[in-house]
Chain A
Amino acid sequence: MANPVSVRGLHKAFGARTVLDGIDLEIAPGEFVALLGRSGCGKSTLLRILAGLDRDVEGAAEVQGTVSIAFQQPRLLPWRKVWRNIALGLHRPDGRSVALKALEEVRLAGHADAWPLTLSGGEAQRVSLARALVREPDLLLLDEPFGALDALTRLAMHHLVEDLWAEHRPAVLLVTHDVDEALLLADRVLVLDEGRIVAEHHVDLPRPRRRASVVEQRTRVLADLGVDVETAA
């Protein structure tokens, strides 16, 4: 099977400002990759290109199979009930049973007929995940989907994403600026800086991982990001 993501020599500029400066990236089927970087380093731009939302680029960015994305905001249609929002991912008006099953997977079984505006932030984000997953994507793009959630909800979401990934096995590209999040979830952590991938870390730890187990790699990744832990702590 071809790699879901195959990027070679990708350049992207907004006017005179270069955002992506020669990106090479392969993601294997079922691989969980995290893309780390500071704000404005171009990580969200790369994700948007892979999602097909930005086609005005130089170089090759090939994506194979079905792509789904979960954004930082859940982006649910507020005038559709929760299950209809999930069915939206199926691209057909029926599919209530499929939507219900997906809701069960994200542990929101009782909320099928709720209006999105009545959900909490974490619940809405889980619906958004369910909508992305009903398509059985080959590639799941996650654009800081936990960024707007409180710390406790975020922890629960990490477990959920890990379980869903283990169950469905899509290739995942998670964009985040949370080093712990990246190390806890990903097989491979890439550090993006000024439009280039400046470091790559393989995380060969058994799952589910605990925070304590990634401490050592955390220091190294932070160093790649230009953060000196000794002075920062």
Chain B
Amino acid sequence: MALVLLWQLASSTGVLPPEKLASPLTVAQSAGELIADGQLLDAFTVSLGRVFFGFLIGAAVGGASGLVSGLSRWGETLLDPPVQMLRTLPHLGLIPLFILWFGIGEEPKLALVASGVAFPLYLNLHAGIRQTDPGLVEAARVLGYSRFERVVHVVLPSAVPQTLVGLRIALGTAWLSLIVGEQINADAGLGFLINNAREFLRTDVVVVGLVVYALLGLTTDALVRVLERRILRWRTR
């Protein structure tokens, strides 16, 4: 709050010229205008859609491969070494390849978000499954539970906490990937709004876009926290 006041003061006194950074009041005003003419909502919807579908694809791929390599030995032999190798590569560095493979439309943006989601989800799901207490599995075995039942009743539930950690990292990376991905020739979305504003030196609009990014990130993070608190009730108290 004090920071915003200081920022406003710097802008009003001319220490901070508007072509470097617009004043908070101007930003709020522009936000109001962008909301009023529907631009912000359109951009918001497009960006949210990209994150959503990118996340779905990434979660499906990361989740499925995490399950396969966590639950079966051959799956692990087959999948884990290449994934462990690839994960050392910053996925944002893949942009040039994605552009060559998928062009400059929606696909590379989705691919970027999806790859940002798939890795943390895979790693944490795999680790979560492997961390299952063998004692619990054994206890279920003596109670006559089949391998499939042991997976359902013991292995997967015990992988949930670690998977939720992965989910939170994945969502954070999803937004980051989106922001970077939307720099590639976007013709809609928050990234387009920001890039366009840059062309016209509209620092106020740039800031509005950044604030929306931040709010979206915070919101999804809060959602996962709520989810964690509900699902992991058994951990505390």
Contacts and interface: CB of A to CB of B under 8 A. Distances in A.
Answer yes or no: do A and B interact: yes
Interface of A: 51-53, 67-69, 71, 73, 75, 77-81, 88-89, 91, 115-118, 131, 135
A70 B146 CA distance: 19
Given A77-B153, A91-B144, A118 B237 contact: yes
Contacts of B235: 78, 117
B233 A51 contact: no
Contacts of A117: 234-235
B154 A89 contact: no
A71 B139 CA distance: 8
Contact of B234 (A67, A68, A71, A79): A79
A77 B145 contact: no
A51 B142 contact: yes
Contacts of A71: 135, 139
A4 B234 CA distance: 38
Nearest to B141: A53
Contacts of B154: 77
B233 A88 contact: no
Given A52-B141, A75-B138, A115-B234, 10 more contacts: A52-B142, A68-B142, A69-B142, A77-B157, A78-B235, A79-B157, A79-B158, A79-B234, A115-B233, A116-B234
B227 to A, nearest CB: 14
B127 interface: no
A53 B233 contact: no
Nearest to B139: A75
B234 A53 contact: no
B159 to A, nearest CB: 11
Contacts, number: 47
A91 B157 CA distance: 17
Contacts of B237: 115, 118
B136 A77 contact: yes
Interface of B: 133, 135-136, 138-145, 153-154, 157-158, 160, 233-235, 237
Given A75-B135, A115-B234, A67 B157 contact: no
Contact of B143 (A80, A91, A118): A91
A214 to B, nearest CB: 31
A118 B234 CA distance: 9
Contacts of B158: 79
Contacts of B140: 88
Contacts of A118: 237
B142 A53 contact: yes
B142 A67 contact: yes
A88 B152 CA distance: 13
B233 to A, nearest CB: 7
A75 B143 CA distance: 12
Contacts of A135: 143
Contact of A79 (B139, B145, B160): B160
12 contacts: A67-B142, A69-B142, A71-B135, A75-B135, A77-B136, A78-B234, A79-B157, A79-B158, A88-B153, A89-B143, A91-B144, A116-B234
A117 B237 CA distance: 8
Nearest to A66: B144
A53 B150 CA distance: 14
Nearest to A75: B139
A111 to B, nearest CB: 14
B143 A53 contact: no
A88 B143 contact: yes
Contacts of B141: 52-53
B234 A75 contact: no
Contacts of A79: 157-158, 160, 234
A186 to B, nearest CB: 22
Contacts of B144: 91
A13 to B, nearest CB: 21
